Amino acid sequence: MALSRRSAARRGAVAARGASARVLRIIGGSWRGRRLRFPAVALIRPTPDRVRETLFNWLGTRVVGARCLDLFAGSGALGLEALSRGAVHVTFVERETSAVRALEATLADWGARGAQVERGDALGFLGGAARPFDIVFLDPPFDSGLLAAAAALLERNAWLATPAYVYVECAARDGPPALPPGWLPLKAKRAGEVGYHLYARGQARGAQAE
Structural domains counted in the chain: 1
Please tell me the pTM assigned to this model: 0.84
Check residue 40 and give its pLDDT. 67
CA dihedral sign, ordered 51, 56, 58, 59: positive
CA distance 144 to 108: 31
- Residue 127 included in any domain: yes
Check residue 143 and give its pLDDT. 75
Check residue 43 and give its pLDDT. 61
- Residue 208 included in any domain: no
- Residue 206 included in any domain: no
Check residue 48 and give its pLDDT. 81
Contacts of 72 (CB under 8 A, 6+ apart): 93, 94, 122, 137, 138, 139, 140, 141, 146, 150
- Residue 39 included in any domain: yes
Q: How many residues are listed for the chain in this entry?
A: 210
- Residue 210 included in any domain: no
Check residue 88 and give its pLDDT. 98
Q: Say if CB 67 and CB 133 are below 8 A apart.
A: yes
**Domain of residue 108, CATH code:** 3.40.50.150
CA distance 36 to 156: 34
Show pLDDT as tens, one digit a residue, over the chain (210 residues): 333 333 333 333 333 333 334 788 999 999 999 998 877 665 666 778 889 999 999 999 999 999 999 999 988 999 999 999 999 999 999 999 989 999 999 999 999 999 999 999 999 999 999 999 999 999 888 878 899 999 999 999 999 999 999 999 998 888 888 899 999 999 999 988 889 999 999 874 444 433
- Residue 104 included in any domain: yes
Q: Which of 53, 52, 26 is nearest to 38 (CA)?
A: 26
Query: Which domain covers residue 68, as residue numbers?
Result: 2-201
Check residue 9 and give its pLDDT. 34
Check residue 19 and give its pLDDT. 39
SS3 (DSSP) at 5: helix
Check residue 36 and give its pLDDT. 85
CA distance 41 to 38: 8
Check residue 41 and give its pLDDT. 62
Check residue 6 and give its pLDDT. 36
DSSP per-residue string spanning 7-52: HHHHHHHHHHHHHHHTEEE--SSTTTT-EEE----TT--PPPHHHH
Q: How many degrees, rounded to 5, is the angle at CA 55 between CA 54 and CA 59?
A: 115
